[in-house]
Amino acid sequence: MGVTAVDSESQHTAVLRSPEIKESSATCRLRLRYFLWDSGHLGFGSAPLWASILRQGSPETVVWRPEATSIRGWKEATIFLGRNPSSFQIHLQSRRSKGQRGDVAIDQLEFLDCALPLPAGCAAGMVECANGGCVDPQQICDGTDDCGDGTDEKDCELEGYQRCDFEEDLCNWDLRSFSPLKWVRTNQQNISITDPLQGPGRDHSSNSASGHFLYVTIPEAGLQTDWAAFQSPFLEPTNSTHPCKMVMYTHQFGPRSGGLTVLVADRLITPVWERGGSLGDVWVKAEVEIVTDMIFQILIMAAVRDFTYGGIAVDSIVLSPECRLSIGNNTLEKFPEPPKDPCTVPEKMCDFHADCEQAEDEAKCGDFSYPEGSLGWTDTSIGSQSWVLYENSTHKEEEYLYVVKAPGQQLTDAQTRTPLLGPSGAACNLSFEFALTGNPDHIGDLSIRVIDSLLGDGRKLWEFSGKTGKDEESWRHADVLIGTRKHRFQLAFEARAKKLCPCAKIKVKNVRFFGCHASYYPLSPTGLSCNFEEGLCGWMQDNSDNFDWTLFSGMDHSIGIGNSLVVDLWSPSLRGAFGRLISYPTRAGTTDYCLSFFYKLYGPNTGVLNVKVTDNYGSETLLWTRSGAHGNMWHAAECWVPHQLTDFQLIFEAVRSGFDGQLAIDDLVFLDGPCTIPRVCSFESQQCGYKSSGKVRWLHQNGHGSTNGPKRDHSLETELGFYMMVNTGANILPSDTTTVLTSSVRQGNAKTECFTFWYHMGGENPGSLSVYMKPVKGERLKIFSNSLDQGDVWRHGNGNISSDLVDWQLEFEVVGAGGKDTHVAIDDIYISPYPCEDRGSRCSLETGMCSWSNTQNAEVDELDWELTSAEAEQHYTVPYEDHTLGTEKGHFLFVPSSNRTVANENAWLLSPHLPPTKGTCLKFWAFKPHSSDSRLNVWRLSEGRLSQLIVVDNLGGPWKHFAVDIISTKEYQIVFEGTKGSSGAVALDDIEYTIGIDCAKKVTDSQTSGKPNNAGGIAASVIVILLLLATLIALLIYYLRTRNRAEAPPAGPSSSFGAGFSNEIYESDVTDRVRVPTVQNHPETGFSDVSGYADIGETEDV
pLDDT tens-digit series, residues 817-829: 999 999 999 999 9
Q: 1090 phi and psi, to 5 degrees? A: -65, -20
* Backbone torsion region of residue 252, taken as left when φ is above 0, otherwise alpha when ψ lies between -120 and 50, otherwise beta: beta
Q: Is residue 1071 scored above 60 in pLDDT?
A: no
Q: What is the mean pLDDT of residues 109-130?
A: 88
- Type of residue numbered 545: D
Q: What confidence tier does 90 reach under pLDDT thresholds 50, 70, 90?
A: very high
Top-confidence residue, 788 or 1091: 788
Residue 546 and residue 577: Cα distance in Å, rounded?
Answer: 6
Cα torsion angle, 55, 56, 59, 60, sign: positive
Could you tell me which CATH class the domain 842-994 is placed in? mainly beta
* pLDDT for the residue numbered 877: 87
* pLDDT for the residue numbered 393: 64
Coil/strand/helix, residue 191 = helix
HSE toward the beta carbon, residue 909, CA cutoff 13 A: 25
Q: Is residue 1096 scored above 70 in pLDDT?
A: no
Q: What is the mean pLDDT of residues 941-970?
A: 91
Q: Report CA 633 to chain centroid distance, whole Å.
A: 23
Looking at the structure, give the CATH architecture of the domain made up of residues 539-674. Answer: Sandwich (2.60)
Q: What confidence tier does 682 reach under pLDDT thresholds 50, 70, 90?
A: very high
Q: What is the mean pLDDT of residues 159-180?
A: 93
Cα Rg of the chain, angstroms: 36
Q: Are the C-beta atoms of residues 37 and 70 closer than 8 Å to each other?
A: yes
Q: Is residue 145 scored above 50 in pLDDT?
A: yes
DSSP 8-state code for residue 8? S
Residue 552 and residue 539: Cα distance in Å, rounded?
Answer: 16
Residue 919 and residue 41: Cα distance in Å, rounded?
Answer: 59
Top-confidence residue, 447 or 856: 447
* pLDDT for the residue numbered 253: 93
Nearest Cα to Cα of residue 278 among 262, 263, 260, 261: 260
Question: For the chain, how many residues are written?
Answer: 1102
Q: Is residue 48 scored above 90 in pLDDT?
A: no
- Residue 68 sits at the vertex; the CA angle it makes with 67 and 73, to the nearest 5 degrees, is 140
Cα torsion angle, 66, 70, 74, 76, sign: negative
* pLDDT for the residue numbered 11: 63
Q: 513 phi and psi, to 5 degrees? A: -110, 135
* pLDDT for the residue numbered 841: 67
Q: Is residue 1068 scored above 90 in pLDDT?
A: no
Residue 301 and residue 217: Cα distance in Å, rounded?
Answer: 12
pLDDT tens, residue by residue, 839-860? 546 799 998 888 899 998 888 9
Q: Is residue 79 scored above 60 in pLDDT?
A: yes
* pLDDT for the residue numbered 1065: 26
Residue 1030 and residue 1082: Cα distance in Å, rounded?
Answer: 13
* pLDDT for the residue numbered 1007: 67
Q: Is residue 43 scored above 90 in pLDDT?
A: no
- Other Cβ atoms closer than 10 A to 707: 6
Q: Are the C-beta atoms of residues 1050 and 1058 closer than 8 Å to each other?
A: no
DSSP 76-142: EEEEE---B-S-EEEEEEEEE-TT--EEEEEEEEEEES-SPPPP-PPPTT-EE-TTS-EE-GGGTTS
pLDDT tens, residue by residue, 717-764? 999 999 999 999 999 999 999 999 999 999 888 889 999 999 999 988
Q: How far apart are the first and last CA of the chain?
A: 53
pLDDT tens, residue by residue, 470-501? 999 999 999 999 988 988 999 999 999 998 88
DSSP 785-821: EE-----SS-EEEEEEE--TT--EEEEEEEE----SS
Residue 444 and residue 505: Cα distance in Å, rounded?
Answer: 9
618-646 b/e with 16+ CB inside 10 Å = b? Answer: eeeeebbbbbbbbbbbbbbbbbbbeebee
Q: What is the mean pLDDT of residues 862-867?
A: 91
Q: Reduced to 3 DSSP states, what percent helix, strand and coil does the chain have, rounded to the nearest 5?
A: 5, 40, 55
* Domain 676-840+1014-1102: assigned CATH number: 2.60.120.200
Q: What is the mean pLDDT of residues 34-55?
A: 75
H or E segment at 1036? helix 1015-1047
CA dihedral 554, 560, 562, 564 (to 10 degrees): -80
CA dihedral 992, 995, 998, 999 (to 10 degrees): -10
* Backbone torsion region of residue 224, taken as left when φ is above 0, otherwise alpha when ψ lies between -120 and 50, otherwise beta: alpha
Top-confidence residue, 1078 or 185: 185
- Type of residue numbered 588: A
pLDDT tens, residue by residue, 524-552? 888 899 999 988 999 999 887 888 899 98
pLDDT tens, residue by residue, 903-923? 888 999 999 999 999 999 999
Nearest Cα to Cα of residue 827 among 730, 712, 920, 750: 712
Residue 827 and residue 847: Cα distance in Å, rounded?
Answer: 21
* pLDDT for the residue numbered 933: 87
Percent of the chain at pLDDT > 70 equals 87
Residue 245 and residue 323: Cα distance in Å, rounded?
Answer: 7
Nearest Cα to Cα of residue 780 among 498, 1089, 524, 1085: 1085
Question: What is 348-514's CATH topology?
Answer: Jelly Rolls (2.60.120)
* pLDDT for the residue numbered 555: 78
Q: Is residue 272 scored above 90 in pLDDT?
A: yes
DSSP 8-state code for residue 360? G
SS3 labels along 586-652: ECCCCCCEEEEEEEEEECCCCCEEEEEEEECCCCEEEEEEEECCCCCCCEEEEEEECCCCCCEEEEE
For residue 423, is the peptide bond before it cis, meaning its omega torsion is within 30 degrees of 0? yes
Coil/strand/helix, residue 182 = coil
* pLDDT for the residue numbered 164: 96
Q: Report CA 271 to chain centroid distance, whole Å.
A: 45
* pLDDT for the residue numbered 391: 83
Is the CATH number of domain 141-319 2.60.120.200?
yes
Q: Is residue 816 scored above 70 in pLDDT?
A: yes
HSE toward the beta carbon, residue 777, CA cutoff 13 A: 3
Q: Is residue 1091 scored above 70 in pLDDT?
A: no
DSSP 8-state code for residue 532? S
* pLDDT for the residue numbered 616: 83
Q: What is the mean pLDDT of residues 1093-1099?
A: 33
Q: Are the C-beta atoms of residues 80 and 49 closer than 8 Å to each other?
A: no
pTM of the predicted protein model: 0.72
Q: Is residue 1052 scored above 80 in pLDDT?
A: no
Strands across the sheet containing 476-481: 385-391, 399-405, 504-514, 429-438, 476-481
pLDDT tens, residue by residue, 993-1034? 999 999 999 999 986 544 444 344 334 333 433 433 444 444
Residue 592 and residue 297: Cα distance in Å, rounded?
Answer: 72
**How many helices (H) does the chain have, and how many strands (E)?**
3, 62
Is the CATH number of domain 12-112 2.60.120.200?
yes
Give ranges for CATH 2.60.120.200 in the chain.
Answer: 12-112, 141-319, 348-514, 539-674, 676-840+1014-1102, 842-994
